[in-house]
Amino acid sequence: MTLAAPNNARKDSKGLLRYLPQEGPLRVAIMGGFGLISILVLWQAICMILQVPDYLVPSPIKVFAAMRRDWVLLADNSVPTIKAAFYGFVIGNFIAVLVAVTFVYNKLIEEMYYPVAILIKTIPIVAIAPVLKLILGNGLAPKVAVAALICFFPTLVNAVRGFRSVSPNLLELMHVLSASRGEVFRYVRVYGALPYVFSALKISVTMCVLGAIVGEWIGANKGIGYILIQSMFDFDAPRLFATILVASTIAIIGFTIVSVLEKLVISWDPGESV
Amino acid sequence: MNAAIELSGINVTFGAGAKAIEAVGHVDLSIAKGQFVSLIGHSGCGKSTLLRVIADILEPTMGTTEILGAPPAKARQERTFSMVFQQSILMPWANVIDNVTLPFKVGGKHDPSLGMDPMDALKLVELEGFAKAKPAELSGGMRQRVAIARALVTRPKILLMDEPFGALDELVRDTLNVELLRIWRQSGMTIVFVTHSLQEAVFLSQRVVVLSRRPSQVSDILDVDLPDERTLELKDDPRVGRQVARLRALLDAG
């Protein structure tokens, strides 16, 4: 007896695409690269055809030229931004997880301070930044504080949800085993929360770069935020765009690191029912 | 004293006032040491509720429970009993051996020498090659074996089982039934087994406690008349069929 091939079988790719892997991160990277290149080509074409002046929107070639020209300046100024973003990321997320644990174990504190956390979240970060500058001065501290503040809320919300997401079955088992609250936390709740916390970290790792830049806008003489403002005043659009590209690259690298860490730490299927 | 579990006047009522639901009406039951006893009844009759009272997961509205002469909370803390649930309830992030050794890591200081070697527990459920496997890599039947190993590792005197094979297919259930009987015979434990399968109850047990519809009471107790040595072939024996029919009649009467 012969069986007919299922008619929903994936058709073989034609042309150059057949050299690509069918799925996986390499395919995602290559296809994403194609997409990006197509947009750059389109952008270059529009700039050339419409003869858009460089001081308004520079062509990609001009942006890359500016990047080559100013790479020492951009690299030097990336350091304080990365520093502020990194410290902000660590501090903001650490405090958020700590507060989440307190909320999960103390209903009264949660009832009192969750609304306050939401209230703080509703104030635009650009409005808080000058306040932080007034309080913390001109150094690294206000930039770190803005970055930390921007990381805080998504991680708090997700961590609270995560610590509470534990399957009731597992809690019942831990009860039968006479586990203490600390043991339930250590052996069950932490693991239940990890997938939620990592989702939040992936958001906050890009947000903390934004926070550091906002912090630098309010008052700094170095950093990516400072270069952005300076390039705007100098009408140096190619450098402005090149700086944006650097900021975006920093965020992408951060996102990739957190994603790799997530893959290493979460070796189980978080959606699996217990 | 010969009773492993003694239930006197157990009543469980959920909620209060007009919305109160009486799950267990009035149950007096004594389970002797070393016996294999099944609880059976119509769906929702409160058999799992009764088991949860014994396991100290649920406090009865009225009545007292004694487990080897001690209140359930004390028995729980002393690891007098272990429980196997309908789901295997394994920690998906931990491998098999870490799941099996969980009872040694939580719940206060316990002398591990009183328990079983975790590898021996795995051997008992024929999973010795899977110590490092994650639960996701195992089939439903294998996961339930891990749950049984986790329950056995503390060498409990009593094993409470709440429809442990209910979610498994018939072939796996048959195999695990036979293995459970082997473990029971080797260990001399008391087993209280909740099931909705009449055949399973007859095949495994020495006594089957029939519960009436909600609010449940013990409507009858069937002493199973089968040889102590039970093999899989016995499941198709007419004697099992006759006792299943009797059990069905008792259930309908209740």
3-class DSSP state of B217: strand
Question: B107: distance to nearest CA of chain A, Å?
Answer: 4
- What local confidence, expressed as pLDDT, does residue A6 receive? 54
> How far is B149 from A176, CA to CA, in rounded Å?
15
State CA B251 to chain mean position distance: 20
Residue B222: helix, strand or coil by DSSP?
Answer: strand
Please indicate if any CB of chain B lies within 8 Å of the CB of A188. yes
Kindly provide the residue ranges of all beta strands, DSSP E only, lying in B42-186, ordered along the sequence.
62-67, 81-84, 158-162
- Condensed to tens digits (0 to 9), the pLDDT of residues A51-88 reads 999 888 999 999 999 999 999 999 999 999 999 999 99
User: CB of A171 within 8 Å of any CB in chain B?
Assistant: no
**Contact across the interface for A272 and B92, Cβ inside 8 Å:** yes
Half-sphere exposure of B46 (CA within 13 A, CB side): 26
Cα Rg of chain A, angstroms: 24
Tell me how long chain A is: 274
| A235 and A55 Cβ atoms separated by less than 8 Å | yes
From chain B, the residues in CB contact with A180 under 8 A are: 106-108
pLDDT score for B237:
86
The answer to whether residue A158 scores a pLDDT higher than 90 is: yes
Six-digit token string for B215: 């609010």
Confidence grade of residue A13 (pLDDT, cut at 50, 70, 90): low
Any residues with CB less than 8 A from the CB of A136 and at least 6 apart, and which? A142, A145
- Please tell me the pTM assigned to this model: 0.83
Note the ipTM here. 0.90
Instruction: Confirm if B212 and B254 have CB atoms less than 8 A apart.
Output: yes
Residue B157 CB: number of other CB atoms within 10 A? 20
Residue-wise pLDDT for A108-141, tens only, equals: 999 999 999 888 888 888 899 999 999 998 899 9
Confidence of residue A9 (pLDDT cuts 50, 70, 90): very low
CA atoms within 13 A on the CB side of A61: 7
